[in-house]
Amino acid sequence: MQEERYFQWRYAEDTTPVVTLGLTPFIKRGAFHTVGDLKSVIWMMKVLPGATGPGDVKFIGHLDAQDTDLIEEEFGNEGKTKENPFTVQLLKPLPPLDSTVIPRAFGGKKDVARLHGARAQTPLCPGR
């Protein structure tokens, strides 16, 4: 069974559509219990542009959450449904889609479109 969580990103008043992330590998390894684990997953999956480490990852409505806080206690049901996703604070606004330079290693226009919400419900799974 695939373990999925739902995320969106926000900068000021701009919010991306909800994206589904497949987190089964992290959950099976027991690496998804604390806020620090959640930050590490976001950083390792490279889905926060400009982040240099897990410490750069912040969640709207939970800016004071400590890395040792349990995800279940801090977020409750947040992130478990499309209607109530985790909201990650962007470090800077995303550039307009038509001005984005697309590095080949990144995966091309499909990955950029996904980050900009064109295919927001496409599951992302590490290791695929």
Q: For residue 16, what is the domain's CATH number?
A: 3.10.20
Examine the pLDDT at 84 and tell me if it is beyond 90. yes
Residue 68 lies in a domain: yes
Residue 118 lies in a domain: no
- What pTM value is reported for the model? 0.71
pLDDT given for residue 119 in this prediction: 40
Residue 117 lies in a domain: no
In the chain, the number of structural domains is 1
Looking at beta carbons, which pairs linking 42-49 to residues 24 or more positions away fall under 8 Å? Answer: 42/7, 42/88, 44/126, 45/21, 45/124, 45/126, 47/7, 47/19, 47/21, 47/88, 47/115, 47/124, 48/9, 48/88, 48/90, 48/91, 49/90, 49/91, 49/92, 49/94, 49/115
pLDDT given for residue 111 in this prediction: 54
Examine the pLDDT at 114 and tell me if it is beyond 80. no
pLDDT given for residue 97 in this prediction: 59
Mean model confidence pLDDT for the chain:
81
